[in-house]
Amino acid sequence: MSPMDHAADAMKLIGEKMGIPDFFELFQMLSLYDDELTLEGKLGYNPGDTLRLIAPIIATNLSDEEMIEISKSAKLTPGAKDLMKTLDMEDVYVASTSYQQHALVIAQKLGIPKDHVNCTELPAYKDFPYMDSLLWIFDHFKESDIHAVKVELDALFWAEMDPEYLKTRVCGGERKMKVVERIASETGTDLKEFMVVGDSITDINMLEGVKRGGGIAVSFNGNQYSAPKANLAVSAMSLYALRPIIDSYPKVWEFVRDWNAREDRAKLFKPDTLEYFHAHRMEPHYDEVRQYNLDDVIVRQRSMRAAMRKEYATLT
């Protein structure tokens, strides 16, 4: 819903306060570390728990007002507001890894009900006595790579650090799928009637779970982690590219196959959708994700991701 990464910008602001101008890169290091822990299947760890690792740093260096101010200045993903205007907000829910100070602001900008937003609550922390150790590892990282410092990060977070500093419950990974399952139960909706949209490693459980349940699992401008777990990849410079998928339901796969096979694609659109596409010169790609085309899909996804998210594109 927004191309910016709130946590990264929050860390960048803390770095400015501390006189450490490359604090954004420190967040990148921890984002890569998050990938490593997810891929190794660390017990009790969820994709997106980067925000669990940095929570004490954020909470002890920024006020709620400062965090909210970052979100107020955040741009929305192109087409997001226009898309939301066409939807029944009773059917729109958010499962966001972001801290609530960000998720609620963005949802409000888009008219999504507050009680439909599931996100990460930031606890209060009195201090963070491990900053010197983390900065020492960061200095090592800048001279090497994440594989060279992983053992040091493991020792810091899972041996040296008091577990009290790791108490934040992030809405990512398996917890995002739990949100979908709860909504399905509360609304009496089968998983095959869901369309979920994700773009990163924090979304892989949700994408895979809905795909397995027969629903539409969309990787929108995703990366090498989200695309393989989805059954549909949408690569576009506007979130409004999801509108034809919604219009075509329940014949989504028929639409996707026709889109890639026909030259007269305009005939696949409803009139108002066609008008919007022409007005905004939209040229999306719709790919049914299969093993044989996965490499090409990932290239398209990452290319569009880089164009839209710019400096945030490297955050996985």
| Residue-level pLDDT at 312 | 73
CA angle 203, 261, 308 (to 5 degrees): 40
| Residue-level pLDDT at 183 | 98
State the angle between helix axes of 131-142 and 146-155 in degrees (0 to 180), rounded to the nearest 10. Answer: 160
Q: Check the CA dihedral 101-105-107-108 and report its sign.
A: positive
| Residue-level pLDDT at 310 | 80
The secondary structure of 182-250 as a DSSP string is: HHHHHHT--GGG-EEEE-SGGGHHHHHHHHHTTSEEEEES--TTTGGG-SEEEE-SSGGGGHHHHHHTT
| Residue-level pLDDT at 313 | 62
**Which domains does the chain possess?**
6-75+121-166 (1.10.3870), 174-312 (3.40.50)
Residues with pLDDT less than 70, the chain: 313, 315-316
Q: Check the CA dihedral 55-67-30-103 and report its sign.
A: positive
Q: Are 111 and 84 in contact (CB under 8 A)?
A: yes
Phi, psi of 21 (to 5 degrees): -70, -15
Identify the CA nearest to 103 among candidates 4, 199, 180. Answer: 4
* Per-residue model confidence as pLDDT tens digits over 182-200: 999 999 999 999 999 999 9
| Residue-level pLDDT at 316 | 63
Strands 232-235 and 285-288: antiparallel
Q: Are 172 and 49 in contact (CB under 8 A)?
A: yes
Give the global pTM: 0.92
* CA–CA distance, 172 with 266 (Å, rounded to integer): 38
